[in-house]
Structure 1
Amino acid sequence: MPPHPDSTDHFIFDTVSSLLQRWPNTLYRNGHTVVPVTMPIGTVLYHGRITNDVPTVPDWTSVEFDHAYIYCRDGPCYIVSLMATRDLRLAHFDGTSAAKMGTGTLDSQDVLTWGKPFPDRCMDEWQRIEDLCAWGKPFGIEGFLRTGFQSEVMLCDFSAGLQVISLLNYIPKHGRDPAYRLLPLGDPDKDECLPLPPVHYPQPNPPEGWKGSLPESAMADFQGLVTGSWYNRDPGETRFHIEYSALVTFYDTALTSLVAARRGVRRDFHRLTSISVNDTTQVRAELAEAFGRRARGSGVDWGSITRVIVERYAERLETLRYILEPEPSNATQQAALVRVQLLTMLVPYMTTDSVPTNPSWTSSLVQRCSTPPTSLLPAGLLTPQERRIRDAVQGTLREICRRLTLMWVDAFDIEEASEDRARAVLGTWKKHVGELMDWLGWSVWVRCIPGCNPDAICYVPSWPAFVEGDSPYDMTPRCISLLRPGKLA
């Protein structure tokens, strides 16, 4: 049987496999997950400011110097470097959760703190950080990890578990390239956050003895996006360790008020605006239980488990799509190539009775293919959140295996088939592969083809910067120049 139309197994699976990877969380910017993470001892953070002191109130830090340097805009450029002197426990919001947009990027944070999304409060960041810190304090949450074009840590207390490494006055930046526009990235008809006003920076005086040009603001700011792209793909941002056993997701189908709102809606448009008071209460209670729990669950690395599945099937499914794409000039030959690929994917689950003379040959094949070893773990060993992840893994695998097995039934004797039958089967297979890949929606299939030259990076619209030709919901990858910020390569 195909998955239920309201199933979210594939969304939960993809969320788990994509945590702390920038590319998928940019493609699907409206996050639906909250999970504790550990920032280990020795982790270094940076905070850019225009005053020669360390914040005494909650404030933002960056994981890369280049990101902190952006905030040195209109005067002296001080950057505080901090090191964690012990493990710090943070909460992470997936998606592009640092984006100040009214189109859904902040929904999960708003529900947690204020009970429902407030699109018109997307720029109310000081109140947001204060309320988040107040919420997290009873659970030992000391900050919040969010992703934009770069990872950032919202720290609740700069004096707790952190040591100042340095507080230095850096070389100021000069000017701005008007082609690189800092704006909330959203549909003006849907985003209730108004565009930021034009940026006018005073021209800084170079330090005494300096020769030549100062760093250009456009290039220096652009490096925040460049360094963020280092963590686009697996393994992603490795400086933080995910506590999968306490992962809470708004894709839980028990949150019934959100189910109907997702039907027929593209994933990047999924919102939490329809969440009911009862469902808000339910998810907050689950967060309190999961984040407040002393035991840390089974210890299963669910991220690795999901990524192994993606690694096993992503390239092979793409190969199938490639084989099936052209109109066949020799249908039997093309079908035979597909058969080889199907056999490669399914042979680990085939036994000597995997032949049509056995009445259960297809059902047993699907069962073996879609049953991961983790299904044997005792239920009592897993937290409720881990059981949800386990079920999502099995549900996702089942649909992969179901589709491949349906194709294998026709491929079993295709080498003996007529040209007409092979041509008809190829059309059916093309439909199966297309529908399966659309359902899975894995970001590994979204990339620049052909790849970018060394003087460019692959890019999709990323808050807060527009480059030329951006359309907010057209996530077609493009190569943009590393040498000319805001320009296509």
Structure 2
Amino acid sequence: MRQTPASAVLALLVNTSAHAQELQHVLADKADRFPRLNFTSPAPLIFHSTFGLLQQWPNTFFQNGHTIAACTLEKNTNLYHARGDSSFPPSPEWFGLDAEMSYFIAGAMPDSHLLTYRTTKDVKCLYFDGTSASLMDDGSMDAQMLLLHNNSANVPDRPAFGPPPRHDNGGRHFCGHDDRDANCTHWNPLQAEYDRASGLCDFIAEKKLGGPGWGYEGVVRMNAAFELIWCNFSSPSARLVSWLNVSAPLLDGVESDRRPWEAEMLEDGNAEPGPPTAPPRRGAPSGGGGTRWPGRDHPFQAYSVYEWFHAAAKRYGFVGGFPGRGEARISIDSGGLFTFYDPSLEHQASARAQLETELYNLTAAGYWPSPADPIERQSALAHLTRRRRAQRAVNVSAVDGLYMRAEVEDRMRAALGTASDGCSGVDWLLTIQEIVTSYGGDLYDLSNLLSENLSLADGEQLRSRLARSREVVHGRWIPFYEYPQYTDDRLETSFAPSARESQAALERCRTQYQPCDMDELSASEQTTYAAVAEVLGAICGTLLPVLLSIEQLWLANFNNASAPPPEATSPVYKELELTLSNNKRAVEELMAWLGWADQWTACTPGCDLGQVCYIPIWPVMGMGRGRGGPPGKGRGYGYPPRRPGGMNAMHDYLSEPTCVDAEHYPPS
């Protein structure tokens, strides 16, 4: 896709000779062979959101979840619940799928208990993507709140988590998130979380979609790792296999720290907090008001922060130069996905398109006019690639909300096998993951190989670069492209995009994952496949002209191993350089449209053994004190480290992550 006039771009690269002027028109025509990409289309957004389901790395890059899906927790899966007392868990409560997660949240206490359960059968659950267990006001919980409250206008304006509210009623009091109670005497920082958990479990029960021992029994979400809201701890679907007191001897001679939120109150100049004078509200943290939270006197509290992060990163994160496997103990029913990018959510869709048109200076058709300045262009491409990070589901109207609720309920019911309109059986997650695996790395390689920064005096360098580019792009066309019969004087015609062989290859590439029987697709699958088809159309439509132009250049000028490369001042050399530039720009714009930033970001150089690649993941992105770092690094539960720029500075790690181990976590 090219919006800047090709002649203006070419004028920067060639002289004004008569031949160069003629060449400009030829190459401008070739540049226009690339497809024009609509950056307001929901297709790449639906595609990449689906790709990231149950994966930590992409969901941390793009924390605002847009997908709700039915899923299955596998039989014989261990689940962990830690408590700060010896009481039986209330319902609903939380399971961690990693013991390290549960231990950090409630296990490192003076009276700690770790309960291990094991599923006795496959269990249906509801999954929200993104960092949907991140208690931040950044869009992570939009999907949950919309399902509970039907539309954006009904979602209460209150924080997901934070310091206690202030009341001018003669003194400071601990209160829940309901500010209307002016006489409250106990504050539960997780009250909104328990309200959400109860609301989601109530939704399941009210719609007759599940209960103890049947149907949907939990809700899967992610922060640093994956967790499970378990609706009923008396359900026979999860059996208690051990209950251990995991309390560790405290270190003598050290004054215990305050609770994290008490320290925040003092730091903000609030009144000295006192102990709660009333019983905890429903869902109060285990242990009630008399239980002391651990501080420097607990031997494992600081290290347990890293253990949680490390356990999640090595299973789900970016290790050894490749994204982790994702949460393999849970499987998604990909035939019944609901996405907030669904064009049927008309108000949400139009509001997003309008906002992005303004933010990125798009045309009315969604096309992106590339800035002429190279630095400005690269900055704009980076913002376009990560545009999904700022997208929120906050424009769901009442009509949209009714559609959303009905569709989610229908798809949950279909996944139970009680509806007649079942899915085709295609594993759409696997399909999309195969596409990303096939093209993600090669697109990155091509964007680097198709460099215009070539030495004008080094023809061998150009030959080598063109050969490597030819190898990479050819590898993607092996299943689709059949070389035509050609002669030297008909190279351009034989390798034109309109040639019979080219069009046949394009069709094979675009339909490489088209189901054999389209009539079997459910409504949800039709939306998913439409996104797959548009994404493949953009990828194949961009890479085909790259393949054909490189083949023309190679066969015309480099296919004789004994012939010298063209002179640096020859018209052929200029054509080579300009063709590579056109191809590079097209590949860069395709990458920005796809938005696979998580696939093109890694720790460079790679991490050593014993290290993992760090990106900020709530709530372990800035908690605790790395043993090798200075004290006072963390501000407490869920807050970023003290460093210039605050939360925005933490986002820098999304662009340039770093390797960490226990001695250097969190990074300074």
Partner Cα separation in structure 2 for residue 354 and residue 477 of structure 1: 48
Structure 1 segment 2-401 matched on structure 2, within 5 A: 2-70=36-104, 71-115=106-150, 116=152, 117-118=155-156, 120-123=158-161, 124-137=192-205, 138-140=208-210, 141-160=216-235, 161-172=237-248, 201-202=293-294, 215-229=299-313, 230-232=315-317, 233-263=323-353, 264=356, 266-293=387-414, 294-295=418-419, 296-325=422-451, 327-329=453-455, 330=458, 332-333=462-463, 334-353=465-484, 356-357=493-494, 359-379=499-519, 381-401=520-540
1:486 equivalent to 2:612? Answer no
Contact 1:317/1:433 (<8 A) preserved: yes
Q: Which residue of 1 aligns with 2:186?
A: none
Distance 1:326 1:424 in 2: 8
Contact 2:148 2:200 in 1 (8 A): yes
CA distance in 1, matches of 2:407, 2:90: 32
Is residue 2:585 matched to residue 1:431? yes
Counterpart residue identity of residue 89, structure 1: K
Distance in 2 (CA, whole Å) between partners of 1:466 and 1:202 is: 19
Deviates more, 1:100-109 or 1:230-239: 230-239
What is the alpha-carbon distance in structure 2 between the residues aligned to residue 369 and residue 202 of structure 1? Answer: 58
> Secondary structure of 2:107's partner?
coil
Q: Distance in 1 between matches of 2:655 and 2:120?
A: 42
Greater Cα offset, 12-21 or 322-331: 322-331
SS of the equivalent of 2:477 reads helix
Aligned residues with identical type, % of pairs: 27
1:276, 1:255 → 2: CA distance? 8
What is the CA distance between 1:339 and its match in structure 2?
Answer: 2.5
Q: SS at 2:662's partner residue?
A: coil
Other-structure match for 2:618: 463
2:527 and 2:249 mapped to 1: Cα distance?
Answer: 49
SS at match of 1:127: helix
CA displacement at 1:360 relative to structure 2: 4.0
Q: Using the alignment, how far apart are the partners of 1:401 and 1:119 within structure 2?
A: 45
- Normalised by the length of structure 2, the TM-score is 0.65
For residues 91-144 of structure 1, the C-alpha deviation after alignment (integer angstroms, 9 at most, x for no partner) is: 000000000111100000000001234452423111101110011222222110
**Maintained 8 Å contact 1:354/1:365:** no
- Tell me, yes or no, if the aligned pair for 1:41 and 1:86 is still in contact at 8 Å: yes
Question: Are the structure 2 counterparts of residues 172 and 49 from structure 1 closer, same or farther at C-alpha, using a change threshold of 3 Å?
Answer: same
Q: Are the equivalent residues in 2 in contact too, given 1:323–1:338 (CA < 8 A)?
A: yes
Q: Distance in 1 between matches of 2:44 and 2:102?
A: 36
State TM-score, norm by structure 1. 0.88
CA distance in 2, matches of 1:368, 1:105: 38
One-letter amino acid matched to 1:347:
I
Task: Extract unaligned runs of 5+ from structure 2.
Answer: 1-34, 162-191, 211-215, 262-291, 318-322, 360-386, 487-492, 558-571, 623-640
Shift of 1:12: 1.6
Which of these two proteins has the greater Rg computed from alpha carbons? 2
Contact 1:75 1:204 in 2 (8 A): no
Q: Is the 8 A contact 1:16 1:306 kept in 2?
A: yes
For residues 179-233 of structure 1, give each alpha carbon's deviation from its aligned partner in whole angstroms, at most 9, with x where no partner exists: xx989xxxxxxxxxxxxxxxx844698xxxxxxxx63311112211111111123
Of the structure 1 ranges 400-409 and 125-134, higher mean CA displacement relative to structure 2 is found in 400-409
Alpha-carbon distance between aligned partners in 2 of 1:301 and 1:2, rounded to the nearest angstrom: 30
Moved more, 231-240 or 326-335: 326-335
| CA displacement at 1:238 relative to structure 2 | 0.5
Are 1:104 and 1:119, in contact at CA under 8 Å, matched by a contact in 2? no
Q: 1:171 to 1:480 in 2, by over 3 A?
A: farther
Mapped to 2, the partners of 1:66 and 1:451 lie a distance apart of 25
Task: Say yes or no: does 1:473 pair with 2:557.
Answer: no
Return the alpha-carbon distance in structure 2 between the equivalents of residues 227 and 354 of structure 1.
56
Letter of the aligned partner of 2:470 in structure 1?
A: R
Q: Which letter maps to 1:452?
A: C
Structure 1 spans left out of the alignment, 5+ residues:
184-199, 206-213
Shift of 1:3: 4.0
The one-letter amino acid of 2:506's match is V
**2:50 and 2:67 in contact (8 A); partners too:** no
Cα distance between partner residues in 2 of 1:3 and 1:481: 39
How many residue pairs get aligned? The number is 462
Rounded to whole Å, the distance in 2 between the matches of 1:174 and 1:8 is: 54
| Aligned-partner Cα distance in 2 for 1:9–1:80 | 43
- The one-letter amino acid paired with 2:341 is Y
Q: CA separation in 2, counterparts of 1:182 and 1:478?
A: 27
Contact 2:95 2:227 (C-alpha < 8 Å) held by counterparts: yes
Amino acid at match of 1:434: E
Is the 8 Å Cα contact of residues 611 and 659 (structure 2) preserved in structure 1?
A: yes
